[in-house]
Structures are given as structure tokens and as C-alpha cells.
Structure 1
Amino acid sequence: MTTTRDFTITREFAAPRELVFRAWTDPQHLTRWYGPRGCSTPLDSISADVRPGGTWRATMVVDATGQEFPTGGFYLEVRAPERLVFTWREPGGDAESVITVDLADLGDGRTAMTFHQAGFTREDTRRGVHSGWTSAFERLAEHVTEDT
């Protein structure tokens, strides 16, 4: 029997909701933050057809070794600038989970993000992915703050 595991990360950004949404959907933004610290995501590895049924892909590269971790999936729901739901393939693997990103306008140019990922069958995978996103969201916060 398999057990589905999930997690939620909440984060506030000192940036307008529209900018945070673009950071999730525009390759020019994604290249600057997608992936944990110590990884880069080359612009030419990113594509995003941001519409229900559209696909996305990005390849994280470990800066120290050059090891590549391709990810990607399909958009299930797109409601700019407040909500994205998409599938996410584990880096270098075939297992998929579902990510939901909800963005709330807090006023004064601030945005609250609720990130939820569901569909893990292994606890060690869930923990590792949670750690990777936590690091990536630190980079996202720096990126959207620079662009405001």
C-alpha cells in the first residue's frame, strides 16, 4: 500500500502579486530563481506554455558539478495573477505530483504565497523536495525584491 504525502509552504513577499505571478510563469524570471541555492536553471532549458493543458519544463544544473536535473509537467489551472495548478515531475525521475500556488494581494505591494505539493509516495522524497523548494523560495524572495 502506498501513502500519499504532501506539504504546504507559506511565504510573504515584498512585491506585488502580478510580479510574483510572472516570476512563476515567465522564463526570464524563472531562470533567476528556480532551483535551490547551488543550482542554476539556464534560460534555454525553460519553456512555459501557461494555459490549462500547456506544458512547462526547466532543467536545474548543480553549479559545482554540472549535473542536470530536468523537471516539467502540465498546467492544470491558470488564473492570473492569483492561482497556478500544475504537475511536477521529480528531477530526473518519472514520479509526478501536483503543485498549487495561491497568491493573495496583501496591499502595499506585498503578496502572500501558499504553495502546496501533493502526491509523494515516499517520505524521504517529500522531505528532500520540501527542502529544495524552501531554498528556492529564498531566491524567489530576493529576485522579486530586486525587481520592485
Structure 2
Amino acid sequence: MTATREFTITREFAAPRELVFRAWTDPQHLTRWYGPHGFTTPLDSISADVRPGGMWRATMVLDATGQEFPTGGFYLEIRAPERLVFTWREPGGDAESVITVELTDLGDGRTAMTFHQAGFTTEEARENVHDGWSSAFDRLTEHVTHPEEDTRE
């Protein structure tokens, strides 16, 4: 039997909770930050049917080589603007994990995000995905703080 591995990442944003929620659910926002530094996620590769049972997909493209990494899954729970729960398949993988994003309004236009992902079958997969999200959340921070600027590298 394989152990399930998981991780949690927390971030604070100098942005209102509604904007951070839209950054997770609106393709116009996702194209600006989804994926680690060194990747782009073309708008035409993103779809988000934001409702329980709705499907989402996005394809990250490695800038250096053009290699594509499709991701996607299904929304399980939507409670705008405070909670999202959805499934996620790692690029090229068959294993499906579950992501929970909790957004807390801190007042003064600030938001706390608690991101939790569970369902990894190997420690290596967990570490790789953690590092990718951590880099993507640096981009998310820049995007919601300066939404008119392009945050791609």
C-alpha cells in the first residue's frame, strides 16, 4: 500500500479576496500567473467551468523548449470568494490529487490564502509539485498586487 502525501502553502496578498478568487477562476487572470517561472500558459489552453462537477484545464508551456504540460480536473466545491476545491492531475501523470484553496479576508484589502494539496503517491512527486506551486504563487502575488503588469518571465 502506498502512503498518500500532501502539503500546505500559505501566502498573504495585498489584494482583495474577490480579486484573488477571480485569479483562480477566470482564464484572463490564470494566463498571467498559472505555472512556475519559466512557463507560460496560453489563454486558448485554459477553460474553467466554475461549478461543482465542472471541468477545468490549462496547458503550461516551458518557455525554453516549447514542451507542453497539460493539467486539469474537476471542481468539487465552489464557495465564492472564500473556497475552491478541485481535482488536479500532474503534468503527464495519471495520479489525481485534490486541491483546497481557502481565502480569508484580512481587512484593508488584504487576503490570506491557504493552499492544500493531497493525494500524491510518491515523495518525489509531492516535492516537485510543491516547488512548482511555490514558484507559481510568486507570480500570483505579483499579478494580484499589480494586475495590469505582465508577470511572465
Q: Same fold (TM over 0.5)?
A: yes
User: Which residue in the other structure is 1:42 paired with?
Assistant: 42
Structure 1, unaligned runs of 5 or more: none
Q: Supply the distance in 2 between the matched residues of 1:125 and 1:4 (Cα, whole angstroms).
A: 11
Deviations 1:26-45 (A, max 9, x none): 00000000000000000000
Partner of 2:118: 118
Which residue in 2 is equivalent to 1:137?
Answer: 137
* Cα offset, 1:94, TM superposition: 1.4
For 2:92 and 2:5, locate their aligned partners in 1 and report how far apart those are by CA, in whole Å: 20
Cα root mean square deviation, aligned: 0.8
**Long gaps (5+) in structure 2:** 149-153
Percent of aligned positions that are identical:
85
Alignment deviations for residues 42-76 of structure 1 (CA, whole Å, 9 cap, x no partner): 00000000000000000000000000000000000
Residues 1-148 of structure 1: pairs in structure 2 closer than 5 A = 1-147=1-147
Residues 3-35 of structure 1: per-residue CA shift (max 9 Å, x gap): 000000000000000000000000000000000
What is the CA–CA distance in structure 1 between the aligned matches of 2:18 and 2:146, rounded to whole Å? Answer: 15
Q: Distance in 2 between matches of 1:71 and 1:8?
A: 19
TM-score by length of 2: 0.96
Equivalent position SS for 2:116: strand
CA distance in 2, matches of 1:46, 1:69: 12
Q: Which runs of 4+ in 1 moved over 3 A?
A: none
Cα displacement string for residues 106-125 of structure 1 (whole angstroms, at most 9, x for unaligned residues): 00000000000000010000
The amino acid that maps onto 1:139 is R
1:140 partner SS: helix
Q: Give the secondary structure class of the aligned counterpart of 1:81.
A: coil
Q: What is the TM-score of this pair, normalised by structure 1?
A: 0.99
1:92 Cα offset (Å): 1.5
Aligned residue identity for 2:67: Q
Cα distance in 1 for residues equivalent to 2:69 and 2:135: 16
